[in-house]
Amino acid sequence: MQRTLGEFGRLDVLVNNAGILVPGTILEMQARHLDLIYRVNLRGPVVFCRAVIPHMARLGGGHIVNISSRGAIGPGQGPYKEPRTGGTAYGATKAALERFSQGLAAEVFASNIAVNALSPHLLLWSEGGYYFRTLGGGTPSYAGVRMSGEIIGDAAVRICAKAPRAFTGRILYDEPFLLEDGMSQRELMARYPVVSGPSPTNP
């Protein structure tokens, strides 16, 4: 934050994008892994928001975008057909991040600060995803995956162009948001292509 202020003199937008997923079920994971997921996915955004909000308030407003995941959506009630192999701890922190985003939005809207959560609608290629897909060797399939994260960056820019008090406390997904914001389906698919094939399940 101080480096940003030193270089630009002000801070108008914060995007909390850092995240970590440790593979495995709750029983397989060590306690230190649970602590790490919590520190990166939830505590980090909370601490960063606390740091920037006073500065944004003095400037007259700003935007905070917390990057979440479809992993925040639970599997729903049972009975279940097959066991899930992991993602519970990660999903729990993302669900908490979305609740935090809405709660914080309700706290700071009077300072003209917007707080929104934004998730990819489809899986995006990442180094972490590549690592998991190649653990067993061979060439992984990327059917249904966007090979660029440009779409979520562009969605964040559009969110931050909105009036903070009018557009805050939202749980958004990049593709539906861009369509609702006026982008055509044809333009969306041309700008952010998807590898052909069925979409894989999000963590």
Rounded Cα–Cα distance for residues 143 and 137 (Å): 17
Beta carbons of 55 and 5 less than 8 angstroms apart: yes
Pick the closest to residue 200 from 132, 145, 163, 151 (CA basis). 145
What pLDDT shows up at residue 142?
A: 84
Report the pLDDT value the prediction gives residue 194, as an integer from 0 to 100.
Answer: 94
CATH superfamily, with its number, for domain 2-74+86-191: NAD(P)-binding Rossmann-like Domain (3.40.50.720)
Q: What is the pLDDT of residue 200?
A: 60
Phi and psi at 65, nearest 5°, equal -120, 120
Which tens digits make up the pLDDT trace of 133-185? Answer: 776 677 778 888 999 999 999 999 999 999 999 999 999 999 999 999 999 99
Catalytically active residues, by annotation: 90
Contacts of 1 (CB under 8 A, 6+ apart): 11, 48, 51, 52, 55
Digitized pLDDT (tens) for each residue of the chain, 203 residues in all:
999 999 999 999 999 999 999 988 999 999 999 999 999 999 999 999 999 999 999 999 999 999 999 999 999 999 999 988 889 999 999 999 999 999 999 999 999 999 999 999 998 888 777 777 776 677 778 888 999 999 999 999 999 999 999 999 999 999 999 999 999 999 999 999 999 876 665 44
Domain boundaries of the chain, sorted by first residue? 2-74+86-191
The pLDDT of residue 40 is 98
- What local confidence, expressed as pLDDT, does residue 203 receive? 47
